[in-house]
Chain A
């Protein structure tokens, strides 16, 4: 009996670790700047009564996790790209749009939810961002409307906000 449990634990371990996130390994690396916002934070922010619009607060409550990893190291960039591509395939993300502009390469992928603009996960991968030619990987999970997201990126000053706005318009 004990053996079976041990085997089961080992068998499920990779799944558990993977379910946590494919990108967590970048958190805390020396040449990666990361921003992680947890569900609790979103819930709290959504409960704060202040001047923010109701639309914004409603959106906030629907979010689970925000992860942004930024790096200017070529080695990590390559690794990040490979991980992202692998993840896109395994998690069944669809490409929402792709932009090539002045050496900046932006890819936005989504995992669709119930409606046409409902999204369970949004993954943005930017190469050649900013002056230092940075690579940015942004992952946002929850159950939200694509139209609301551009509002969020504007408020939080996240990268790729303008591109997302375009994406939301095209998806309509």
Chain B
């Protein structure tokens, strides 16, 4: 808890030094707003049986702090707001802080993967997906000194766990609705 509050303080300090908009700020601002769907996932939610993990897997999971998801499902009535918010996120993702790894898509649909930090000590992974039909979603995978191997390991561990999907339901609904 102490560490967490120290981190929170650090974040506040860092953010206040930096006038550039960040996803951190954006998330805080929009989480409470209606039309947005926000989901926070902590590693404890994954129901990981720690006794079954290898040392490597355990260490990888330890570097992971939380996963934040912010989504905006688009409907006819929120179309105008969607366009504005999408432009906001586009601009944030393009800022220098977020180093892009790859992206694909066409025009208004697409997805991208970016990260914050150094190559071998990643602070944050950002997945961003948008679809003109469904809306957009930003996923922040936050940790301390994650390395690429750890991220891949985390992904494979998560795949094998029976994650508590209840909390992700609003997201699922969002993407099922229009399919």
Contact = CB atoms under 8 A, between A and B. Distances in A.
A13 interface: no
B178 interface: no
B104 A43 contact: no
A47 B147 contact: yes
B85 interface: no
Interface stretch (A3-11, A33-41, A146-154): A33-41
**Chain A interface secondary structure, helix, strand, loop or mixed?**
mixed
Contact of A32 (B101, B106, B113, B119): B106
A50 to B, nearest CB: 6
A44 interface: yes
B146 to A, nearest CB: 11
Interface in B34-61: none
Q: Interface range on chain B: under 10, 10 to 19, 20 to 34, or 35 or more?
A: 10 to 19
B79 interface: no
B102 interface: yes
B106 A29 contact: yes
B149 A37 contact: no
24 contacts: A29-B107, A30-B106, A30-B107, A31-B106, A33-B105, A33-B106, A34-B103, A34-B105, A34-B106, A35-B102, A37-B101, A37-B102, A38-B102, A40-B119, A41-B113, A44-B119, A45-B148, A47-B119, A47-B148, A47-B149, A48-B148, A48-B149, A50-B149, A50-B152
Interface of B: 99-108, 113, 115, 119-120, 147-149, 152
Given A32-B107, A33-B104, A40-B100, 15 more contacts: A28-B106, A30-B106, A32-B106, A33-B105, A34-B103, A34-B105, A34-B106, A35-B104, A40-B99, A41-B102, A43-B119, A44-B101, A45-B148, A47-B119, A48-B152
